[in-house]
A = this chain, B = another copy of it.
Amino acid sequence: MTAKSLMNEYPPAQDRLVTLANWRTQPFNDWSYRNVRRLLPTADIPASRTPSPFDDARQDIGGITLQDAEGKTIALNAWLRGTRTNGFVVLRNGRIVTEWYGEGMNGTTPHIVFSVSKSICGALGGVLAAQGVLDPDRPVTAYIPEIASSVYGSGGCTVRHLLDMSVGIKFEEDYLDPEGDVARYRRAVGWDVTPPGHSVIDLRGFLGMQKPDGKTHGDTFHYVSTNTDMLGWVYERASGRALSDLLSDHLWKPMGAEVDAYITLDAHGAMRAAGGICAAPRDLARFGEMIRRRGVVDGRQVVPGSWIDDINENGSAEAWARGDFAEVFPGGNYRSKFYQIDRKRRTLACLGIHGQYIYIDPPSETVIVRVGSDHIPLDLPATHTWRRAFDAIAAHFS
């Protein structure tokens, strides 16, 4: 079955029908990840009226080789074809070296990026902090007093703890447990239908119910998506504006995005900062390039350079070493929603489930975007292979 055969009959046959019951599973996600707004309520994140152009530096890099998960040497072309890759963009020094798109996709098709949304919201935090709208060192309750009885109101939890995923929260980020925290969370955000007999709750109500795990905030990298939704809520309350408007005015427009992005909403209009952004591959490349250039696009300072320096310099290696992903990127860290996967090179990564990646490697002037519809949410062997692919491309440019 190919992506093309999904949802193009009237009505689609049962095994080609994409609904909220199957949209995050194969093969249905081949279609759904580029058609999220056909499944869920969404808000626009308007692009610029004058998109920043890309210079062209096309070259055939399909022959670059990498080691796949079984240790076999494979060409990049074969790796792209053999994976559920929907979009792949490689920039060198801001110029397009290669673009590769799957069926139904092109560089301007919005595709869900899941937790890459977190990094985008992390960058937005820098803008709001520079404007004095947001103080990362203030307690979360300074902005949202009504969550005082939750983990976010206990133990001196600050905005910085949200930004760095170091909240001592009791939440099991298990994507596959049908009755776990993630399952209840996904009903709250509207991504899954609430089954009969289960209580209906909205995202902000769900956030207010989260409890501490007893650890000191700031000590340990503990990856919990709700922290980023909490952050988005703080942004909205601090600024008095919807997250979608903030993302547009402070990132998408000034960075010269060419396609309106959008973000999913719960039943009360709460926007899913942690994973609901859908954006065009070329605009994700612009975002990565803006980060690589210390926040500057066409001479405009979009995100403060100091915020990006802080990401590069001040992530806690100790919190990382104690944390959930220490084995995934040894020696890495996580700061303001970006993964630093090579401290010496200042290589940054943004990661989303089902194979969403932005890779930013300053020494080789490389930015790579990959969006896809991988079968399982978190496939560590695949993540490592992608990392090798990205590193091989960066090495090719060095």
- Inter-subunit contact A17/B265 (CB<8 Å): no
Asked if A18 is at the interface (CB within 8 A of a chain B CB), the reply is yes
A-B contact pairs, 8 of them (CB 8 A): A8-B242, A10-B237, A10-B242, A19-B268, A20-B267, A37-B41, A38-B41, A38-B42
The interface residues of chain B lying within 8 Å CB-to-CB of A18 are 269
Asked if A7 is at the interface (CB within 8 A of a chain B CB), the reply is yes
- Inter-subunit contact A19/B267 (CB<8 Å): yes
The chain A residues found within 8 Å of chain B, CB to CB, are 7-8, 10-12, 17-20, 37-44, 196, 202, 204, 233, 236-237, 240, 242, 265, 267-270
With A37-B37, A196-B196: A12-B42 Cβ-Cβ less than 8 Å = no
The interface residues of chain B lying within 8 Å CB-to-CB of A240 are 8, 10
- Inter-subunit contact A269/B12 (CB<8 Å): yes
| Minimum distance in angstroms from A162 CB to a CB of chain B | 15
- Inter-subunit contact A268/B11 (CB<8 Å): yes
The interface residues of chain B lying within 8 Å CB-to-CB of A17 are 268-269
The interface residues of chain B lying within 8 Å CB-to-CB of A269 are 7, 11-12, 17-18, 38
| Minimum distance in angstroms from A15 CB to a CB of chain B | 13
- Inter-subunit contact B10/A236 (CB<8 Å): yes
Per the bound structure, the CA–CA distance linking A225 and B344 in Å amounts to 65
Known: A17-B268, A18-B269. 6 other contacts (CB 8 A): A10-B236, A11-B270, A17-B269, A37-B37, A37-B42, A38-B269
Per the bound structure, the CA–CA distance linking A42 and B43 in Å amounts to 11
| Minimum distance in angstroms from A197 CB to a CB of chain B | 8
The interface residues of chain B lying within 8 Å CB-to-CB of A204 are 11
User: Of B41, B44, B236, B270, which is within 8 A of A39 by CB?
Assistant: B41
Across chains A and B, which 5 residue pairs bring their CB atoms closest together, nearest first?
A10-B236, A10-B237, A11-B204, A39-B41, A38-B43
The interface residues of chain B lying within 8 Å CB-to-CB of A38 are 41-43, 265, 269
The interface residues of chain B lying within 8 Å CB-to-CB of A42 are 37-38, 42
A39 to chain B: closest residue by CB: B41
Per the bound structure, the CA–CA distance linking A11 and B229 in Å amounts to 13
A44 to chain B: closest residue by CB: B37
The interface residues of chain B lying within 8 Å CB-to-CB of A196 are 196
> Most B CB atoms within 10 A — which of A11, A242, A267, A270?
A11
The interface residues of chain B lying within 8 Å CB-to-CB of A41 are 37-41
- Inter-subunit contact B37/A268 (CB<8 Å): no
A18 to chain B: closest residue by CB: B269
A17 to chain B: closest residue by CB: B268
Per the bound structure, the CA–CA distance linking A236 and B7 in Å amounts to 12
| Minimum distance in angstroms from A75 CB to a CB of chain B | 36
The interface residues of chain B lying within 8 Å CB-to-CB of A19 are 267-268
Per the bound structure, the CA–CA distance linking A12 and B240 in Å amounts to 11
A244 to chain B: closest residue by CB: B38
| Minimum distance in angstroms from A34 CB to a CB of chain B | 12
